[in-house]
Structure 1
Amino acid sequence: MRKYIPNQHGAWAMLILPFLFGIASSAGKAIHIPLFICWLLIYLFSFPLLQGVKTGKLQRYAKPLKLYGLLLVPFVIYLIIAEPALIWFVLPLLPLFAVNLYFAKTKNERALVNDISAIIAFSLIIYPVFYVGQGESWRSATELFLLSALYFTGTALYVKTIIRERNNARYYYISVAYHLLFAAAGLVLFPPLFVPLLILLLRAAILPKTGITAKRTGITEIGFSVMLYAAVLILYF
């Protein structure tokens, strides 16, 4: 099953939260269901592809690639017929995925640049979701795109201070400084969300000092993602 199910737990929040932000900035429509399934299948397809590129053994991942590819095709065809303009939203994803392929090929997928490229790609789903939901304010969609990208970039820094960079004091201070700037920028960009951003700052400053495990970090991140989504629904709109 390791060939079929991604083991990058944080990616699931990046898959779902920006999609929900897109709905929050527009309105829930029936077409969001096949769009989400398509988005999920693209992620599931990309995982064995990247693993195959990393290991140089694409044949080893042929079965999951064929399975997800076959499942993906009818949804892609349906969405293109239903909303042809969705093709344009795919174009910005291509160079970002090329970056992921490069870092997979060089076996350096833990690089921060690779993380940020994936974060931007995941966050961009807000726009097609907003579009098919017939949203009215592209500014609101863009603000939520920025919120998503900034939040997950901060999360990538924070998680590294607990796992791969847990003994790196410099990395810890970079993470805290980033979250401090994020909270300060939030006063201008997302004033109603200042309190949740302050909580994220406290998370980055305090939790790495507690010896929290990677597993518990993953669990708590689900809670922080839910907190941010609830704050957007309650305070932002």
Structure 2
Amino acid sequence: MKKYIPNQHGAWAMLVLPFLLGVAASRGQFIHIPLFVCWLLIYLFSFPLLQGVKTRKFARYAQPLRLYGLLLLPFALYLVIIQPVLLGFVLLLLPLFAINLYYARIKNERALLNDISAIVAFCLVIYPVYYVGQGENWRAVNELFVLAVLYFTGTAFYVKTVIRERNNIRFYYGSVAYHLLFAAAGLYLFPSLLVPLLVLLLRAAILPRTGISAKHTGIIEIGFSVMLYVSVLLLYF
């Protein structure tokens, strides 16, 4: 199953949270169901594709590519037929995915630029979700997009302090400083969300000092994403 299911727990939060924020900012519609299935299949299809680029062993990943490609095609065609504007969203994703392909090719997928390009790509889904949900407050969706990008960028810094930069004290202080600035910016951009932003600051400051494992970090990060989503529902709208 390693060829079929991505093993990065935190990526699932990036897949789901921006989508749910888009639904929350608009109105839930039936089209959100096939749109989410399509979004999920795009992610699942991209995983073996990137692995094939990285290892140069496409034959090994041919089966998951074929499976997810065949499942994806009818959903993609359905969405493009009823909402042709979604093609514009795909065009926005292409240069970002090209960056991911490049870093997979040079086997440096942990590069910060690669992380940020993936984060922006994941967070951009909020716009098509909002559009098909017939949302009317574009200022709110723009703010939620910024919130998601800042949150997941902070997560990228924090996770590196737990794994690859575990013994890099400068990187640790950089991560804490980023979260401090994030919380400070929240006073202006999202004042109602200051408490969850302070929780994220404490996460970045305390958890890397506990010796937490990479696996537990990814799993716990799903909990922090749920906290942020619930906070948006209760405090932002």
TM-score range, shorter chain: over 0.9
Query: 1:12 and 2:49 equivalent?
Result: no
Letter in structure 2 aligned against 1:106: I
* Structure 2 equivalent of residue 150 of structure 1: 150
TM-aligned CA deviation for residue 126 of structure 1: 0.1
* Structure 2 equivalent of residue 209 of structure 1: 209
Q: Return the alpha-carbon distance in structure 2 between the equivalents of residues 218 and 111 of structure 1.
A: 18
Q: How many residues align?
A: 237
* Structure 2 equivalent of residue 197 of structure 1: 197
Q: Return the alpha-carbon distance in structure 1 between the equivalents of residues 166 and 35 of structure 2.
A: 38
TM-aligned CA deviation for residue 216 of structure 1: 2.2
Report percent identity of matched pairs: 76
Letter in structure 2 aligned against 1:187: L
Q: Confirm or deny: 8 A CA contact 2:18 2:126 kept in the other structure.
A: yes
* Structure 1 equivalent of residue 61 of structure 2: 61
Q: Return the alpha-carbon distance in structure 1 between the equivalents of residues 55 and 215 of structure 2.
A: 26
- Bigger mean CA offset, 53-62 vs 118-127: 53-62
Q: 1:26-45 counterparts in 2 under 5 A?
A: 26-45=26-45
TM-aligned CA deviation for residue 219 of structure 1: 2.4
TM-aligned CA deviation for residue 170 of structure 1: 0.6
TM-score (norm 1): 0.99
Q: Confirm or deny: 8 A CA contact 2:9 2:219 kept in the other structure.
A: no
* Structure 2 equivalent of residue 177 of structure 1: 177
Q: Return the alpha-carbon distance in structure 2 between the equivalents of residues 71 and 92 of structure 1.
A: 22
* Shift >4 Å, 4+ stretches: none
Cα deviation, 1:50-105, whole Å, max 9, x if unaligned, reads 00000111121111111100000000110011111111111110000000000000
Q: Return the alpha-carbon distance in structure 2 between the equivalents of residues 151 and 52 of structure 1.
A: 30
- Bigger mean CA offset, 219-228 vs 165-174: 219-228
Letter in structure 2 aligned against 1:58: F
Q: 1:1-237 counterparts in 2 under 5 A?
A: 1-237=1-237
Q: Return the alpha-carbon distance in structure 1 between the equivalents of residues 204 and 19 of structure 2.
A: 25
Cα deviation, 1:162-181, whole Å, max 9, x if unaligned, reads 11111000110010000000
**Secondary structure at 1:92's aligned position in 2?**
helix
**Secondary structure at 2:115's aligned position in 1?**
helix
TM-aligned CA deviation for residue 191 of structure 1: 0.8
**Secondary structure at 1:91's aligned position in 2?**
helix
TM-aligned CA deviation for residue 36 of structure 1: 0.2
Q: Return the alpha-carbon distance in structure 2 between the equivalents of residues 91 and 159 of structure 1.
A: 29
Cα deviation, 1:19-64, whole Å, max 9, x if unaligned, reads 0000011011000000000000000000000000001111211111
Cα deviation, 1:150-198, whole Å, max 9, x if unaligned, reads 1000001101101111100011001000000000001111110011001
Q: Return the alpha-carbon distance in structure 1 between the equivalents of residues 218 and 107 of structure 2.
A: 23
TM-aligned CA deviation for residue 16 of structure 1: 0.3
TM-aligned CA deviation for residue 132 of structure 1: 0.3
Q: Which runs of 5+ in 1 are unaligned?
A: none
Q: Return the alpha-carbon distance in structure 2 between the equivalents of residues 114 and 191 of structure 1.
A: 30
